Every structure is written in structure tokens, then in C-alpha cells.
């Protein structure tokens, strides 16, 4: 892992100032810069830090590591509506062992039928017919979860371009990292390097012709030699932050009913202008999402200096419908990017996910009894010896926090280290973490504090290598007191964390 990070940082240091607007148009394989996935284009691609699933194969391959079981996504894009250009994309990703994910993405750019003309017959209506250029690339991605905080991925992409009887092929390499921080995985960073590859060159029978040379009366077959062209390499650096709002709702990647995400990104282009921007997304239960983004590059606001038909604004929405808790789901995505001229770019897609099939959605009732009833549905609990039960009770009784906060004390961390070792040994066990408070202060504040403390315990154990899918954390505030809140001793008993091994 350290070696992988060193390589990425070295590449970043050599390319971060590579943007060169004077070289616009000198590269080829422009289709590598086209993204038709509707969720990420609703942000104008400013999603390197938080992108997950199949779409990440186009932006940051590290995001593929977040696939729980198996995902399939299809998308169609009307690129600059009115130009007759369409982009078709299909992607598949599946889990490969506990920490690895492999994915395949196919992208096809169709510019429609073009009239065949010659130097002597420049009129499109010359009766010479039409031809259709083809631009296809196939990517294979391998992503890995290195820890509960670090994700990485690499994509190898085959590029194929053909026009009539000439063609060019080549390979490109993408690599990316994502780093996640925060009790609720709020803060995310991402970096990706894309389209690193060897120069491409067109070749084929289309470069040969019959003719004479230097006044020679004899004709012969002659051939032209095409120049090589470089790939449009890019470096992107991004960050995002999630604001979790409303009642607790731990399901489908959510921590609360409402999520507001702010994201920002800088992109350096080796053959064009650098750009930067950001976006915002609102999500309800991770089932309904709306988003908008803006991407700026020098000269964008001045029509006389602008070098792109895009005007920088994008928006989109998604609907994700689960068939059962944490099971299969289907989603529909749409995005729109403004342009001048043409009628903008429209992207629409459909996605299918099989879910993880392992960690059912957390109980969303308001009482502790509901949380315990959730345990009854999870299956037969594992058997613990008397000494193991006593050890878990001792650990739970030793978990303390600094006054009025969710910060674990040093002694509590030492105690939780023992629990991490136990959970590592009991690889099939899962853990419920329930946090409670006394009745001092506001009810809502106490409920929120208990939630933060429960998640603090879970986060600490995740950092020690325990899979987050094996743990559920929930706060109950002042509910179910075990001691009298009329005495200091009773209040101390109520400020507790309960641990249940299943």
C-alpha cells in the first residue's frame, strides 16, 4: 500500500502543473474525455472524491471498491442535442473476495453518417454515399479496499478508432485513490490520473493510392504515413463533505434521513485549459437525489474567448427503488449540461444493484426495544462462553467519553482494543452498539449525543480493522434508564454503552 501511494504522489507531483491551453487540439482520442454517466455528469464530473460504483470507472477507479455485491448500469447520451452525436455506455461490476471488486465498462461514440467527399467532389450531394466513423473503448478495472479509510483502483482501457479503411488502436491507464474521514464518513478526498498511455497512430489501406511521382510516366502504389498523436492525460484532485440531517436512518449508505453533500474539484489537462468547480447534492434516504454542478475554465464567461461549447452548468436527479432491505434495487438517473450552441447534453441511465445481502438496514424505530427486536430477525446468535460474556460486559462498562462529547477517553480506547481482537477472532460474529445518556439537558441533544457516541465506538473499531458491515450503531438518548436519574450514581449508570454479540 505504501508503495502504491508513493507512485501516485510521484505522478501527481510531475503532472499537477501540466495544464497547457496552447496545446489544445494537439491530442487525439477525445472520446476518453467524454463521460455519459448521468449521476456524475449532474455534478459536471466534479465527483472524484465521492464517486462510487460502476460510474467510477470513468472518473476515479477507486470508487469501484464500494460495490457491495454486483451492479449493472446502462446509459445513453444525446451529446450536444441537434448534432446527431450519441454516446452509449454499459458497465458491470462484481465483488471478487472480501476486499476486491472487478468491473468492465464499454463506451461507444456514434457521430452518425457523414457524407463522403473528395477534393474534386466537395459537394455533399455528389452521390458518393456516406461513411460512419467508429470510436469504441473498453475498460477493465480492479479496485481494492485497503482499509476502512483507503480505497484504490486501476483501469486498463483499450481504445479503438476507425474511419473507412483506416484505424488506430491503443491502451490507456487510469489510477485513483479515495480517502475517507469522519465518524459518519463525512469528509472524503479523491485523486485520479487518467489517460496515461503510449501514442496512437492511424494506419490501414486508406493511406495507399495509385499514382505517379516526380513526373514518372509509370504509376505505382504509394502510401502516406500518419503522424502519431498523444492521449489527453488528466489529473483530478477533489474533496467532498456530507451533512447528515434529520432522524437517524442507517440504511443504503445513509446515516440520517437527509444528506446534503458539497463537493469541489480541480482538473489539470495536459492538452487544454485547466478547470475547477463544484456541486451540491441533496438525498432523502439515498432513494431520491437531486444535484447541480458548475465547472469553470479560463475564458468561459466570454463568448469570444470560450473554447468549449459547454457553458459550465449541469443538473440532474436520481430515483433509487429498493425491492427489499439492503437487497436488490433499481435506479433511474438523468442529467443535463448546458451548451451554446446546440441544445445541451442529455444523459439518462438505468442501474441494477443486488445489494450486499449481508447487513440488513438498521432499525429506524424510536425505541430501544425496536433495536433489540432487529437482532431477533438477524438469525441464531453465536454461542459465547460464560467468560466471554463477562468480558464483553466488562468492556461495555469500561467505555467512557469526555464530558458532554463523543470523544473516547484513553482508557476506553485501550479497552476497545481488546474488543477488536475478540471480533477479529470471532470472524462470523456481528456487533450491536447501543448508547444511552442520563436525563440532564435537552432530550434532542441527548439523543444526538448518544448517536454520536455509538458511532464513535463503531468508527474506532473500524479503524482497528473490523468490517463496518459487521457492526450496527444506534443511540437512544434517555430511553430505558437502568438507574435512577434522581441520584448521581443512577445518572452514571444511565450514561452507558451496551454491546451485543450476535
118 part of a folded domain: yes
pLDDT of amino acid 217: 63
Q: Is the pTM of this model over 0.85?
A: no
Q: What is the CATH number of the domain that holds 483?
A: 3.30.1330.60
pLDDT at residue 223 in the model: 74
Read off the pLDDT band of 326 (50, 70, 90): low
- Would 362 be classed as within a structural domain? no
Shared-domain flag, residues 375 and 496: yes
Closest-CA residue to 331 (of 8, 5, 72, 68): 72
pLDDT, position 352: 93
Q: How confident is the model at residue 50 (pLDDT cuts 50, 70, 90)?
A: very high
- CA 157, CA 340: separation in Å to the nearest integer? 31
178 and 306 belong to one structural domain: yes
Question: Is 359 a domain residue?
Answer: no
Q: Give Cα 21 to chain centroid, integer Å.
A: 29
Last residue of a domain, one of 328, 353, 378: 353
* More reliable by pLDDT, 212 or 39: 39
Q: Are residues 484 and 408 in the same domain?
A: yes
Q: Are residues 306 and 410 in the same domain?
A: no
Residue 56: the pLDDT is 96
Enclosing H/E stretch for 410:
helix 410-425
Q: Give the residue from 28, 68, 36, 69 showing the smallest Cα distance to 55.
A: 36
Place of cell 439515498: 286
The reply to whether 180 and 294 lie within a common domain is yes
With a cut of 50, say whether residue 14 has pLDDT above it.
no
Would you state the pLDDT for residue 19?
56
Q: Residue 213: pLDDT band by 50, 70, 90 thresholds?
A: low
pLDDT at position 215 is 61
Residue 20 confidence (pLDDT)? 64
Domain endpoint, select from 320, 353, 386: 353
Asked if residue 160 belongs to a domain, the reply is: yes
- Are 333 and 392 in a shared domain? no
Does residue 394 share a domain with residue 273? no
The pLDDT of residue 88 is: 97
Co-location of 320 and 426 in the same domain: no
The answer to whether position 223 is within a domain reads no
Domain match, 10 and 80 both: yes
* 6 or 270, which is more confident: 270
Same domain, residue pair 19 and 98: yes
The secondary structure of 213-243 as a DSSP string is -TT-SS-EEEE--PPEE----EEEEEEEEEE
Mean predicted confidence (pLDDT) in 322-340: 87
Can you give the pLDDT at residue 325?
63
Residue 247 lies in a domain: yes
Q: Does the structure show a pLDDT above 70 at 381? A: no
Residue 209 lies in a domain: no
Of 330, 353, 376, the residue at which a domain comes to its end is 353
The pLDDT tens digits of the residues spanning 116-160 come to 888 788 888 887 888 889 999 999 999 999 987 899 999 999 999
pLDDT (tens digit per residue) in 430-469:
999 999 998 888 888 888 889 889 988 988 898 888 888 7
8 and 37 together in one domain: yes
The whole-number average pLDDT for the span 310-337 is 90
Question: What CATH number should be reported for the domain holding residue 320?
Answer: 2.40.160.60
- Residue 370 is predicted with a pLDDT of 42
What's the Cα-to-Cα distance from 268 to each of 14, 202, 412, rounded to whole Å? 11, 27, 45
Output the pLDDT for position 6: 39
Please tell me which of 34-43, 267-276, 465-474 the model is most confident about, judged by mean pLDDT: 34-43
Angle at 242 between CA 10 and CA 36, to 5 degrees: 65
Task: Tell me how many domains the chain contains.
Answer: 2
Asked whether the beta carbons of 470 and 430 are under 8 A apart, the reply is yes
**Mean pLDDT score of the chain:** 85
On whether residue 363 sits in a domain, the answer given is no
Length of the chain: 502
Residues 312 and 420 in one domain: no
Domain that holds residue 144: 2-202+228-353
Amino acid at each position: 500500500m505504501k508503495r502504491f501511494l508513493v507512485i501516485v504522489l510521484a505522478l501527481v507531483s510531475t503532472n499537477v502543473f501540466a495544464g497547457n491551453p496552447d496545446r489544445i487540439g494537439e491530442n487525439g482520442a477525445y472520446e476518453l474525455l467524454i463521460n455519459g454517466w448521468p449521476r456524475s455528469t449532474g455534478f459536471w464530473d466534479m465527483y472524484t472524491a465521492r464517486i462510487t460504483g460502476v460510474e467510477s470507472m470513468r472518473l476515479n477507479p477507486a470508487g469501484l471498491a464500494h460495490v457491495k455485491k454486483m451492479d449493472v448500469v446502462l446509459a445513453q447520451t444525446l451529446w450536444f442535442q441537434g448534432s446527431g452525436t450519441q454516446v452509449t455506455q454499459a458497465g458491470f461490476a462484481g465483488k471478487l473476495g472480501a476486499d476486491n471488486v472487478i468491473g468492465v465498462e464499454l463506451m461507444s461514440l456514434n457521430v452518425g453518417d457523414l457524407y463522403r467527399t473528395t477534393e474534386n467532389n466537395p459537394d455533399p450531394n455528389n452521390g458518393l454515399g456516406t461513411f460512419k466513423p467508429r470510436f469504441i473503448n473498453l475498460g477493465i478495472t480492479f479496485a481494492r479496499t485497503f482499509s476502512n479509510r483507503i480505497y484504490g483502483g486501476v483501469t486498463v482501457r483499450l481504445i479503438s478508432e476507425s474511419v473507412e479503411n483506416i484505424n488506430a488502436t491503443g491502451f490507456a491507464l487510469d489510477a485513483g485513490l479515495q480517502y475517507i474521514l469522519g465518524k459518519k464518513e463525512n469528509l472524503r478526498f479523491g485523486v485520479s490520473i487518467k489517460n496515461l498511455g503510449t501514442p496512437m497512430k492511424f494506419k490501414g489501406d486508406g493511406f495507399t493510392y495509385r499514382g505517379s511521382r516526380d513526373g514518372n510516366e509509370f504509376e505505382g502504389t504509394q502510401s502516406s504515413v500518419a503522424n502519431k498523436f498523444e492521449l489527453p492525460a488528466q489529473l483530478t484532485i477533489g474533496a467532498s463533505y456530507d451533512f447528515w440531517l434529520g432522524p437517524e436512518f442507517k440504511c443504503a449508505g445513509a446515516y440520517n434521513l437527509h444528506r446534503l453533500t458539497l463537493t469541489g474539484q480541480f482538473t489539470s489537462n495536459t492538452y487544454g485549459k485547466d478547470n475547477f468547480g463544484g456541486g451540491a447534492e441533496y438525498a432523502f434516504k439515498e432513494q431520491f437525489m437531486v444535484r447541480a454542478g458548475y465547472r469553470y475554465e479560463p475564458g468561459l464567461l466570454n463568448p469570444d474567448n470560450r473554447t468549449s461549447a459547454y457553458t459550465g452548468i449541469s443538473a440532474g436527479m436520481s430515483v433509487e427503488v429498493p425491492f427489499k432491505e439492503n437487497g436488490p434495487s433499481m435506479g433511474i438517473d438523468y442529467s443535463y449540461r448546458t451548451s451554446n450552441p446546440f441544445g445541451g447534453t442529455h444523459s439518462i441511465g438505468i442501474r441494477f444493484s443486488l445489494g450486499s445481502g449481508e447487513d440488513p438496514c438498521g432499525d429506524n424505530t424510536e425505541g430501544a426495544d425496536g433495536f433489540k427486536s432487529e437482532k431477533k430477525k438477524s438469525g441464531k446468535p453465536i454461542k459465547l462462553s460464560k467468560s466471554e460474556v463477562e468480558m464483553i460486559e466488562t468492556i461495555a462498562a469500561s467505555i467512557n467519553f469526555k464530558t458532554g462529547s463523543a470523544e473516547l477517553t484513553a482508557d476506553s480506547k485501550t479497552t476497545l482494543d481488546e474488543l477488536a481482537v475478540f471480533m477479529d477472532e470471532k470472524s462470523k460474529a456481528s456487533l450491536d452498539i447501543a448508547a444511552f445518556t442520563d436525563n440532564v439537558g435537552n432530550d434532542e441533544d441527548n439523543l444526538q449525543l448518544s448517536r454520536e457516541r455509538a458511532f464513535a465506538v463503531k468508527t474506532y473499531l473500524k479503524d482497528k480493522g473490523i468490517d463496518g458491515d459487521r457492526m450496527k450503531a444506534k443511540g437512544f438518548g434517555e430511553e430505558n434508564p437502568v438507574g435512577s436519574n434522581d441520584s448521581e450514581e443512577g445518572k452514571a449508570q444511565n450514561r452507558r454503552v451496551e454491546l451485543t454479540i450476535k
